[in-house]
Amino acid sequence: MDSYPIEVDDGLPIIQLDFESYVSYSIINESFTVMDEYEIFDGGVFRIYTKSRYLDFVKLGTIAEHINPNEHFVHYQIPCLNHIIDVISYEEPKIKEIKRG
């Protein structure tokens, strides 16, 4: 996997993601994250996983699938400068653009 620096562009808008409901979320220091070929996702700075260890963990460690057997939850990930944010939700996030200053 290629790596590159995260550069701040003050000309770009701020993007706000709102998850109205979620099954689980986690924030981890990016220095301790392991990437391997087991995980499958689409995207770059906003990823949607179809297969991940975090998704497996939540499926095994919660009753979410039993409570909502007709719902399919999805693993979303936002890699940031120092942290990785993972969210598992039944619903897509609401995305809003916020103009700078």
Query: Could you read off the pLDDT of 9-67 as tens digits, one per residue?
Result: 888 888 999 999 999 999 999 989 888 899 999 999 899 999 999 999 999 999 998 98
Provide the pLDDT confidence category of residue 79 given band limits of 50, 70 and 90.
very high
Q: Backbone phi, then psi, for 9, in 5-degree steps?
A: -115, 100
Closest CA to 73 of 18, 25, 14: 25
- The pLDDT of residue 69 is 84
1 has a pLDDT exceeding 70: no
- The pLDDT of residue 34 is 85
**Domain segments of the chain: what residues?**
14-98
**What is the widest separation between alpha-carbon atoms in the chain?**
46
**Amino acid letter for position 19:** F
| Alpha-carbon gap, residue 73 to 89, rounded angstroms | 5
Record the pTM: 0.86
Strand-strand pairing, 83-89 and 47-51: unpaired
